[in-house]
């Protein structure tokens, strides 16, 4: 494990708070090892840091009550959804109380006329989409995992559909937040746009639980398109594929998804998902629109692909074929793990301006080869965002150190290309050293000033994003 920062514990405060909450929550207050281990667990190589207790909250007033007790005794509060974050977001470096919101799973309202809805933070995206389907609506953000919407808002998640529909920042209209003093605020009304004061909605989205805990989330919805088609195309090189993507974006083709898989990733997917795709760089696309619109988009893409040496171009409106292909894309993580059984998969998350994408990926492939890592690359390339999944033997200290050096090098490379160390996973614990390199000390100081203003005792998910 990579050892991360520990923070001083307030033992007396923690003991007092535990006593109060046990009294109040009974069976919904848990301190067993298994529960604590699970709630400190993240899909990452960061050391697991358990909370002292887990409380299962059922409504906003309960969250507020927990935060108030913790505020009185200066004890950390860590929110928890599905535990699928990747940068140690739910670790408890100073101990404290984990608030599990997964029992807050009610869809409170759907407004089909306004294309919006209000949900509790424990609703998952698949649950929401199942609920919406009969009304012809869907929520487009798809980070892969069936994450909670609270967690997705907290990390500003995005994923395969972001190229068309944006990220959580673009799709959260308002949040209700329990602040560090236990007060509940609502950041906006339900109008489609507003210039009323500071944009607290977008400040809270992506704040990773360090400024407050979400108790309700108002989301933008989309109508299910009349037609959906998908396409795939193989390219002679990652560079050629990236050039094609750049042209798609410049032409304004409203692709709903445009995903890159490098040759190694295709190989892994073939093996895992029993496909027979040519083991060369591949673009997978999805088009949303009218019947005529998706045909037009697919044709335009086909012609761009041909200009860049694309081959084996195939598009389909068959739901079955489409689902098979996208399921393989979604299973890329599991497919990759099969390439080296027993190894841990460490995901990077850089995002660069699209004009630098081909160059960035090419540098990365070269270095991966030199370093001797097995690491497929998948990318939400329409946004300039791609992930390496480094397969690391965590028992081999030298290899772990080399992997850490690679991650550091890659983050710096992206930053040097006017990009970011994190397109969608967030800072958490794992990327704290890079935030200042990316944005500068004065910018981080402004973030710290905001953190201290809204959370003067530093109890909200401490040790994440910025030091409090």
Provide, rounded to whole angstroms, the least separation between the CB of residue 2 and a copy of itself. 20
Q: Is 66 helix (H, G, I), strand (E, B) or coil?
A: helix
Nearest to 370 by CA among 405, 395, 397, 336: 405
User: Which range, of 38-46, 126-134, 158-166, 370-378, touches a copy of itself by CB under 8 A?
Assistant: 158-166
Tell me whether residue 126 or residue 226 sits nearer to a copy of itself (CB atom).
226
> In the bound complex, what is the minimum distance in angstroms from residue 438's beta carbon to a copy of itself?
6
Q: How far is the CB of 462 from a copy of itself (least distance, A)?
A: 15
If one asks whether residue 340 binds a copy of itself (CB under 8 A), the answer comes out as no
Measured from the CB atom, the residue of 70 and 454 that comes closer to a copy of itself is 454
How many other C-beta atoms lie within 10 A of the C-beta of residue 359? Answer: 14
Least spacing, CB of residue 416 vs a copy of itself, in Å: 10
Binding mask 192-231 for a copy of itself (x = CB under 8 A): xxxxxxxxx-xx-xxx---x----------xx-x------
> Binding a copy of itself by CB under 8 A: which of 9, 131, 452, 467?
452
DSSP letter, residue 226 = S
In the complex, minimum distance from the CB of residue 256 to a copy of itself, in angstroms, rounded to a whole number? 12
- Residue 453 as a binder of a copy of itself (CB under 8 A): the answer is yes
Q: Select from 189, 327, 338, 396 the one that contacts a copy of itself (CB under 8 A).
A: 189
Q: Note whether 44 and 86 are within 8 A (CB).
A: yes
Residues 422-451 that bind a copy of itself (CB under 8 A): 422-427, 431, 434-435, 438-440, 442-447, 449-451
Cα–Cα separations (whole angstroms), residue 296 to 282, 286, 293: 21, 13, 5
| β pairing state of 184-186 and 257-261 | unpaired
Give the list of residues 6+ apart from residue 455 with CB closer than 8 angstroms, or none.
Answer: 180, 210, 211, 212, 468
Token pair belonging to 53: 């207790």
Burial call 94-121: b when 16+ CB within 10 Å, e when fewer: bbbbbbbbbebbeeeebeeeeebbbbbb
Considering CB under 8 A, how many residues would be counted as binding a copy of itself? 94
Among 15, 59, 126, 190, binds a copy of itself (CB under 8 A): 190
- Residue 398 near a copy of itself by CB under 8 A: no
Q: Could you say which of 15, 271, 275, 292 contacts a copy of itself (CB under 8 A)?
A: 292
Query: Which two tokens mark 442?
Result: 């004065």
Query: Binding marks (x or -) toward a copy of itself, 19..58, rule CB under 8 A?
Result: ----------------------------------------
| Dihedral over alpha carbons 330, 242, 408, 147 (to 10 degrees) | -20
Edge to edge, the sheet with strand 385-392 lists 311-316, 227-234, 282-289, 257-261, 377-380, 385-392, 344-347
List, in order, residues 6 or more apart from 467 with CB less than 8 Å away.
432, 448
CA 327 to chain centre: 18
Contact segment (CB under 8 A) with a copy of itself among 12-20, 63-71, 186-194, 306-314 equals: 186-194
Residues 103-122 that bind a copy of itself (CB under 8 A): 111-116
Per CB under 8 A, does 341 bind a copy of itself? Answer: no
Selected from 16, 28, 227, 293, the binder of a copy of itself by CB under 8 A is 293
Residue closer to a copy of itself (CB basis): 76 or 140: 140
């Amino acid at each position: 494990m990579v050892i991360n920062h520990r923070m001083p514990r307030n033992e007396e405060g923690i003991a007092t708070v535990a006593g109060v909450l046990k009294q109040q929550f009974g069976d919904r207050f848990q301190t067993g090892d298994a529960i604590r281990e699970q709630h400190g667990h993240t899909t990452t190589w960061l050391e697991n840091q358990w909370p002292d207790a887990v409380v299962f909250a059922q409504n906003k007033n309960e969250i507020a009550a927990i935060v108030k007790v913790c505020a009185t005794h200066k004890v950390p509060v860590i929110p928890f959804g599905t535990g699928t974050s990747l940068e140690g977001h739910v670790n408890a470096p100073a101990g404290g109380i984990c608030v599990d919101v997964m029992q807050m799973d009610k869809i409170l309202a759907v407004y089909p006329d306004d294309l919006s809805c209000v949900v509790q933070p424990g609703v998952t995206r698949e649950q929401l989409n199942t609920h919406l389907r009969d009304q012809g609506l869907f929520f487009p953000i798809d980070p892969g995992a069936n994450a909670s919407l609270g967690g997705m808002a907290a990390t500003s998640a995005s994923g395969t559909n972001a190229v068309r529909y944006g990220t959580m920042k673009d799709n959260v209209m308002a949040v209700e937040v329990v602040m560090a003093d236990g007060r509940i605020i609502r950041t906006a009304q339900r109008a489609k746009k507003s210039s009323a004061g500071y944009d607290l909605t977008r400040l809270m989205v992506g704040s990773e639980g360090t400024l407050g805990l979400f108790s309700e989330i108002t989301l933008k919805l989309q109508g299910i398109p009349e037609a959906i088609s998908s396409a795939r195309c193989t390219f002679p090189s990652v560079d050629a594929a990236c050039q094609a993507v750049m042209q798609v974006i410049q032409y304004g083709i409203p692709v709903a998804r445009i995903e890159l898989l490098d040759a190694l990733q295709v190989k892994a997917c073939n093996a895992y998902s029993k496909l027979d795709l040519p083991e060369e760089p591949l673009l997978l696309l999805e088009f949303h629109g009218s019947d005529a619109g998706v045909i037009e988009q697919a044709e335009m893409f086909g012609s761009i692909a041909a200009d860049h040496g694309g081959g084996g171009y195939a598009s389909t409106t068959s739901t079955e074929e489409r689902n098979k292909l996208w399921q393989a894309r979604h299973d890329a993580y599991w497919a990759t793990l099969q390439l080296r059984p027993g190894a841990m998969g460490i995901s990077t998350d850089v995002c660069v301006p699209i004009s630098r994408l081909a160059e960035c990926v090419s540098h990365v492939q070269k270095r991966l080869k030199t370093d001797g890592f097995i690491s497929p690359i998948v990318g939400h390339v329409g946004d300039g965002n791609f992930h390496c999944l480094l397969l690391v033997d965590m028992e081999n200290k030298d290899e772990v150190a080399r992997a850490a050096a690679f991650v550091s090098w890659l983050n710096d490379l992206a930053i040097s290309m006017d990009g970011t160390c994190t397109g969608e996973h967030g800072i958490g614990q794992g990327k704290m050293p890079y935030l200042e390199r990316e944005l500068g000390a004065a910018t981080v100081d402004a973030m710290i000033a905001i953190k201290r203003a809204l959370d003067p005792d530093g109890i909200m998910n401490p040790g994440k994003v910025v030091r409090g």
